[in-house]
Structure 1
Amino acid sequence: MDDNKQTYYISIGPGEILTVPNASPWQFKIEATQSEIKQLRRLFNANIDNRSDETIRAMTPIQEYHNDAPNDRYDGNLVKIYEMIHQLGDEEARSHIEGMGILQNFTSE
C-alpha cells in the first residue's frame, strides 16, 4: 500500500480530483494517499450514478423530492465527500467546510 501523500485539488461539482492546480477550477486542496484518493473517487462515482437516478425521478411528477432514495443516497455521499475533504484538507479547506455547517447537519451512515 502506498503511504506517500500527494497534493490534490478537488472540484466538488464535476467530481474532479486534480493533480495540478491550474488544470481546472477547484475548491479544496488536500493531501492524500492513493488509497484515500480511490475511496474519494468511489464516492464521486456513486454520486454520478445517483444523478442518473435523480434524472429519472425528475421525470416522474408524482414522486416527491424529499421522499426519494436516490436523493438521500446522493446527499449522504456528498456529506461523506465533505468529511473526507475535511479530514485530508489544508486549514483553508477545513475552515470552509466547518463554516458551511454541513458536517453538523447530517450524520454519516
Structure 2
Amino acid sequence: MEKQKYYVQMGSGEISRVKYHNNDEFVIYATEQEIVQLREAFDEANASGIRSFFRAHIPAVPYHNDAANDEYDSDMARAFKLVHDLGDEKTKAHIQKMGILNTYL
C-alpha cells in the first residue's frame, strides 16, 4: 500500500489529508491500515477520557488512584508513538524533544 500525507492534531484527535487552519500540528505519511491503528488509539483515549471525566466528579477517588487516567495516558502515549513512527523529520524531532516516548512507553 502506498503511504499518503496526513495532518494530525493530537488534542482533537483529528487526522486529515487536507491542511486546514491549525490541523497541521504533526505531519505523517501512512497507509490506510496505519491510519486505522492511529484512529483506534485516539478512540480509546477518548473513551478513557470520558471515564476519567465522570470519575473527576467523585471527590473520594484521587486522581493518582484512577485507572481511567492511567489508561488515557497510555492510549495517548501509544498515539504519540504511532505519530512519531509515521512522522516526517520535523514531527519526529518535536515528539522526541517532548520526551513523552521515554516517560510512558
TM-score, with structure 2 as normaliser: 0.95
State how 1:12-27 maps to structure 2 within 5 Å: 12-22=10-20, 24-27=22-25
Count, aligned residues:
105
TM-score, with structure 1 as normaliser: 0.92
Whose helix proportion is higher, 1 or 2?
A: 2
Question: How far 1:55 sits from its partner (Å)?
Answer: 1.2
Match of 2:61 in 1: 63
| SS class of match (2:70) | helix
Question: How far 1:73 sits from its partner (Å)?
Answer: 0.5
Q: Which runs of 4+ in 1 moved over 6 A?
A: none
Match of 1:54 in 2: 52
Gaps of 5+ in 2: none
Question: How far 1:25 sits from its partner (Å)?
Answer: 2.7
| SS class of match (1:62) | coil
| SS class of match (1:66) | helix
| SS class of match (1:13) | coil
Match of 1:6 in 2: 4
| SS class of match (1:9) | strand
Gaps of 5+ in 1: none
